Amino acid sequence: MSVPETEITASPAALQGQPIERVQRDGVEYVVLGTAHVSRSSMEAVDALLASEHFDAVAVELCDSRAQSMRDPEAFRQLDLFKVIRQGKAGMVAASLVLSTFQKRLADQSGIQPGAEMKAAMDGAEQRGLPLWLIDREVGTTLKRAWRSVGFWQRFGLLGGLLASVFDREDIEQGEIEKLKQGDLLESAFSEFASGSKPLYDSLIGERDAFMAARLREEAARPTMVENRRVLVVIGAGHLKGLCTLLREQQGDPASKVAELAILPPKARWPKWLAATLVLLVFAAIAWAFHQNTALGTQALRDWVLFTGGFAALGAVAAGAHPLSILAAFIAAPIKPFRPGIPAGGISAMAEAWVRRPRVADFDTLRDDIVHWSGWWKNRVARTLLNFFLVSVGTIIGEYSAGIHIFKSLL
């Protein structure tokens, strides 16, 4: 249900022309404001609604981690690189950093910090003592579901697009900024792929519409929330139609829907099976070589160590790693099949973080440094993440190269 024309006319000037819908569901009125993530008028619209109407709660298109980063930009200083690497979260941290460079370019070019309207909604709720509902799915879960929703080759395209967004020095086209004003930050960052891939679009937009609708119903149904009969919902304009439709029509238990959409889909098994099969074949070939004669077996084993360790160490060198980190990569890569758990890239990266511990200044300047390609080698935090990826890639290249060379030499 769109806002009646008479109500728009009576609203403050800041609300003129703003996309607002009002949805009644289970005795609750949701006043849904579709905002532009790069627009001063959206901030003013949030303030105007809070000032001109009574609300019992405020809901925003944020998850806990994004809200925390807005409330406390310095929280990134507390990042524990050792813990991040051990838990296998280096990829998510790197992806989040890359997305932050996209946001920074937008802020520098437009003069408006992306998500400023969400910050205005949070501040307004705090000033008025209103409950704040964080209704979006965790950004890490969304990125993982998006990553696993596409095929092997599409993933290379996504990685290429992310890297291009870091190193592209040209201004973002005005058309892209205008699309962002009517769309979604994550969709815009992956716009080329989201528009051509239904699974990717569903992960970034459709699933989040369903998740946010369920979260609103879930919060409104809590026994402690019986008095929250009018809720201001601040979301990106790209979610307005989908969210409002689902808010009216979605059935079933909202908590079950939230849990369903928060689950990570299983990883594809074939890459691991392929890698495991290759390693088994290589070691079977090495064993057969030893069976033929010791010299041939020794040569095959030497090739395995030199290729896997050499390419892993080369990755560490390319990352500008410390000599001890390079040595760690060389030692860890050949014994990877016998050491399940942290990959060679993780061991080398932890060695790098231990030898060259990141300074407070590295965290302070991290987002600014990684905007420039040289910053990935200058900043100790970024260099540690870079070391992780380049050593991991080098290890994989080394394993395949070793296998090919060993089989050729035996044949």
Contact 213, 246 (CB under 8 A): yes
Question: Does 196 have pLDDT greater than 70?
Answer: no
Q: Are 364 and 302 part of one and the same domain?
A: yes
**Mean pLDDT, residues 32-57 taken together:** 86
Could you give the CA distance from residue 206 to residue 200 in angstroms, rounded to a whole number?
9
**Mean pLDDT, residues 7-14 taken together:** 55
Question: Does 100 have pLDDT greater than 70?
Answer: no
Q: Are 236 and 380 part of one and the same domain?
A: no
Question: Does 173 have pLDDT greater than 60?
Answer: no
Span 101-154, pLDDT tens digits: 666 666 666 566 667 888 899 999 999 999 999 999 988 888 888 778 777 666
Q: Are 274 and 256 part of one and the same domain?
A: no
Closest by Cα among 302, 300, 143 to 207? 143
Q: Are 173 and 321 part of one and the same domain?
A: no
Contact 322, 409 (CB under 8 A): no
Task: Name the residue range of residue 281's domain.
Answer: 270-410
Contact 35, 236 (CB under 8 A): yes
Exposure of 245 by Cβ count < 10 A (0-12 exposed, 13-18 middle, 19+ buried)? middle
Helices (H), 335-379: 344-355, 360-364, 366-369, 375-378
Could you give the CA distance from residue 77 to residue 112 in angstroms, rounded to a whole number?
24
**DSSP letter, residue 340:** -
Span 218-242, pLDDT tens digits: 998 887 655 658 999 999 888 888 9
286 versus 17: the higher-pLDDT residue is: 286
Q: Are 252 and 379 part of one and the same domain?
A: no
CA triple 105-110-115, angle to 5 deg? 75
What pLDDT was estimated at residue 325?
95
Last residue within a domain, chosen from 262, 296, 320: 262
Closest by Cα among 90, 111, 107, 132 to 185? 107
Q: Are 78 and 122 part of one and the same domain?
A: yes
Q: Are 163 and 59 part of one and the same domain?
A: yes
Contact 311, 333 (CB under 8 A): yes
Q: Are 15 and 124 part of one and the same domain?
A: yes
Beta strands (DSSP E) in 27-165 are 28-35, 57-60, 132-134
